[in-house]
Amino acid sequence: MPLERELKRLALRLGRHLLASRRRVVTAESCTGGWVAKTITDIPGSSQWFDTGFVVYSNAAKTRELGVRSRTLIRHGAVSEEVAREMARGALVVSRAELAVAVTGIAGPDGGTADKPVGTVWLCWAEHRGRKIHFRTRKVRFAGDRNTVRARSVALALRGLLR
């Protein structure tokens, strides 16, 4: 499968980059269910640059594990820029990593709404720079079935870490 090769290629590039810069990454995943972390840990030696991964599928887990505020979830919903940012921030705070990626979305086949249709995904990349955390977010809408939405989200998460 070409996508599997692409994911492996991206993870290998990420590993080389993080090793060279002596940094580590943490993942915070909802709709991808740990697929970003799995892709990273498929690479031999990834323990040198991968700290940990969080799969926070439920809202309660997002709050409990990563400190996503209940009021943020109520006000904006789990699939939002605000929640993706809080997931990424929380992952950095509770890990020893310098870089984080968070993914939250609606992979389908159901669960979509008029405002947030199936395929809507928010990603956030966060980086410790000194004492500050810098964020970059992106909203996408992927076409395709559940597996396609999730796989394309993983690829985008890895590409964003390489930026």
pLDDT along the chain (163 residues), means of 10: 90 98 98 98 98 98 98 98 98 97 97 96 96 97 97 98 96
DSSP state of 47: G
Q: Classify residue 76 as left (phi > 0), alpha (psi -120 to 50) or beta.
A: alpha
Q: Are 26 and 102 in contact (CB under 8 A)?
A: no
Tokens of 83: 């929640």
Task: Return d(Cα 116, Cα 127) in angstroms, integer.
Answer: 27
Instruction: Say if pTM beats, i.e. exceeds, 0.75.
Output: yes
Distance from chain centroid for Cα 16: 19
Task: Return d(Cα 49, Cα 36) in angstroms, integer.
Answer: 14
DSSP three-state, residue 90 = helix
Going along the chain from its start, the domains and CATH numbers come out as 2-148 (3.90.950.20)
pLDDT in tens, 60-106: 999 999 999 999 999 999 999 999 999 999 999 999 999 999 999 99
Residue in the structure block whose two tokens are 């993080």: 18
Tokens of 5: 């090769």
